Structure 1
Amino acid sequence: MVEPVETPLAASNPRVKQLRRLSRRSERSERRLFLADGPKAVEGALAAGCVVEVLVRPDALGLVPDLPAGVRRTLVDDRALAALSDSVSPAGVVAVCRFVDVELDRALTEDSRLVAVCADVRDPGNAGTVVRCADAAGADSVVLAGSSVDLYNPKTLRASVGSAFHLPVSVEPDPAAAVRAAQAAGLVVLAADGAGEVDLFEADELLARPTAWLFGNEARGLPEDLAALADHRVAIPIHGRAESLNLSTAAALCLYASARAQRS
């Protein structure tokens, strides 16, 4: 008996139209679903066990590994895939995934040694890169606090290069609550502040302690009342004429300084 040929879904298909609405943050939040775009993101999502369905072009089936039980595989045509993808040149595969963020008490525990807390970080590329840097530095978790960009923004996920699936990420509306929770878990909260009283490169003894780094908005930095809650303010010395460092660059330096001190 000849198996029926599966017809790829077109962009006009009601199911594709419904999934396309997940490009809106409000729709994602209501349904607690998001789209992971591209082979690397799909691979990470499958490893995290959050995939509901994989949509793939027929010519990209080789990008899809064996799927676990309960995960659907659906063929879509070029236009349908383009409608679901945020990429200029879609790689051919998109996964529908359940939210993976965790409660704050799971991100900040007595066993935590290194955590990144982002307060009002609005640029998705910066947020995703901080998640990636935290993962690379061996951090235990990341907290996106205040009015920070959505973890499930396609640009955030792309910038994380799969790291959003590797370590716990919590979403906390109140940055002050995140700081207090970190301190209650036994973490020293260090605010990254260009005017800080502690020099990053002369703080190994401090950095060796369980630490939560607090990073502020790209343009405005940390508000004074939030920075005042930190245990110390730490500055990255600038030896040249640059006014400041990009947020994600500063975060990478701070997280790796802690990782080195904690492992020495």
Structure 2
Amino acid sequence: MFTVRTPRVVAARRLQRRRDRDETGRFLAEGPQAVREALKAGVVVEVFCTDEARARHPELTHDASLVDDDALQALTETVQPQGLVAVCRQRDVSLREALDRRPRLVAVCADIRDPGNAGTVLRTADAAGATVVVFAGDSVDPYNGKAVRASAGSLFHVDVVRVRDAVAAVAALRESGLQVLAADGYGETDLFELPAPARPTAWLFGSEAHGLPAALKELADARVRVPILGGAESLNLAAAAAVCLYSSAKAMRESE
């Protein structure tokens, strides 16, 4: 049974730091849902589990390395870990590779710094049928532990693209034929009044603190605001992303 001092556990634990994730191209996914989806995606390098988790999830742990409770606790970032952690290969693709698959719905996260928001947007985009999620500019690492947990397995379902040059990324989206819509609380176009052509669409989302950079707004075909019908000051990023992405998903379904 592995302990906190076992070299493979020590190496895996280092993946809690971004520097080590970037250097190795690997990350940690914890909990049965994430491990299950990682195994389906074929990106698992190794699974660590406790005795209890092996008994509870035999379908996920037949090749797993057994660890004691202290080692499992060291590998996880949650207060009550579920006994399973997988070391996974990062699954980034280039923007060109993603666009060559001709996606119909894309979510672009520009300068999003909160990992919980990043993971929730991944989950929301996957649920709405988006097949590409782009993390552009100075965005959080989508392989951050909190982001991976918040994605609830959706990280393994979509093409994940990371690009530094957000302006160039949006230009590439436009050149590939996608209409580009910027989610903007002060946008000129009301979401309810937005024409709903069944064109492939990329939605741009900025950070809650600063919104979208002006340069990206200028590249959009429309700057779209979600109407606030009650007394709420605004929607958070994840809620706004859900409303916008499902609006496009509805339009596309109705055109079929």
TM-score bracket, normalised by the shorter chain, equals over 0.9
Does residue 1:38 correspond to 2:34, yes or no? no
Partner of 2:18: 25
Where does residue 3 of structure 1 map in the other structure?
none
* Counterpart for residue 65 of structure 1: 59
When the two chains are superposed, the root-mean-square deviation of aligned CA atoms in Å is 1.4
Distance (Å, rounded) in 2 between the aligned partners of 1:155 and 1:162 = 12
Structure 2 unaligned segments of length 5 or more: list them. Answer: none
Under a length normalisation based on structure 1, what TM-score does the superposition of the two structures give?
A: 0.92
Residue of structure 1 in register with 2:246 after alignment: 256
1:101 equivalenced with 2:95 (yes/no): no
Q: Does residue 9 of the first structure (1) align with residue 2 of the second (2)? A: yes
Q: How many residues align?
A: 253
Distance 2:60 2:239 in 1: 37
What's the counterpart of residue 227 of structure 1?
217
Q: Is 2:35–2:60's contact at 8 Å kept on the other side of the alignment?
A: no
C-alpha contact (below 8 Å) 1:120/1:149 kept by paired residues: yes
Shift of 1:210: 1.0
Q: Structure 1 pair 78/67, CA: closer, same or farther in 2 (3 Å)?
A: closer
Residue of structure 2 equivalent to 1:141? 132
Q: Distance in 1 between matches of 2:142 and 2:58?
A: 24
Q: What do the CA deviations read for 1:164-197 (whole angstroms, capped 9, x no partner)?
A: 0011111111111110111011000100011212
Asked whether the 8 Å contact 2:36–2:60 carries over to 1, the reply is no
Match of 2:111 in 1: 120
Residue 209 of structure 1: CA displacement? 1.6
Give the match's secondary structure for 1:134. helix
Runs of at least 5 residues in structure 1 that lack an aligned partner in the other structure: 1-7
Superposed displacement of residue 14, structure 1: 2.5
Alignment check: 8 A CA contact 2:29 2:35 kept: yes
Contact 2:50 2:68 in 1 (8 A): yes
Contact 1:34 1:152 in 2 (8 A): yes
Amino acid of the structure 2 residue aligned with 1:115: V
1:218-237 Cα deviation digits (max 9, x unpaired): 11101212211111111111
Structure 2: distance between partners of 1:258 and 1:65: 37
- Secondary structure, aligned partner of 1:228: helix
Shift of 1:10: 0.9
The one-letter code sitting in structure 2 at the alignment partner of 1:199 is D
Distance 1:234 1:102 in 2: 28
Deviations 1:11-30 (A, max 9, x none): 12232122111100010000
1:263–1:24 distance in 2 versus 1, CA, 3 Å: same
C-alpha distance in 2, partners of 1:41/1:113?
26
How many Å separate the matches in 2 of 1:247 and 1:125? 10
Query: CA–CA distance in 2 between the matches of 1:213 and 1:78?
Result: 43
Query: Which residue number corresponds to residue 154 of structure 1?
Result: 145
CA displacement at 1:87 relative to structure 2: 1.2
Alignment of 1:129-208 (within 5 A): 129-206=120-197, 208=198
Amino acid at match of 1:257: S
In 2: Cα distance, 1:168 partner to 1:182 partner: 14
Letter in 2 for 1:40: Q
AA partner of residue 63 (structure 1): H
Give the TM-score taking structure 2 as reference length. Answer: 0.95
Deviation at 1:242, TM superposition (A): 2.0
Q: What amino acid maps onto 2:111 in structure 1?
A: D
Identity %: 58
Q: Over residues 124-183 of structure 1, what are the superposed CA-to-partner deviations in whole Å (9 max), with x where a residue is unaligned? A: 111111111111111121101111111111110111100000111111111111101110
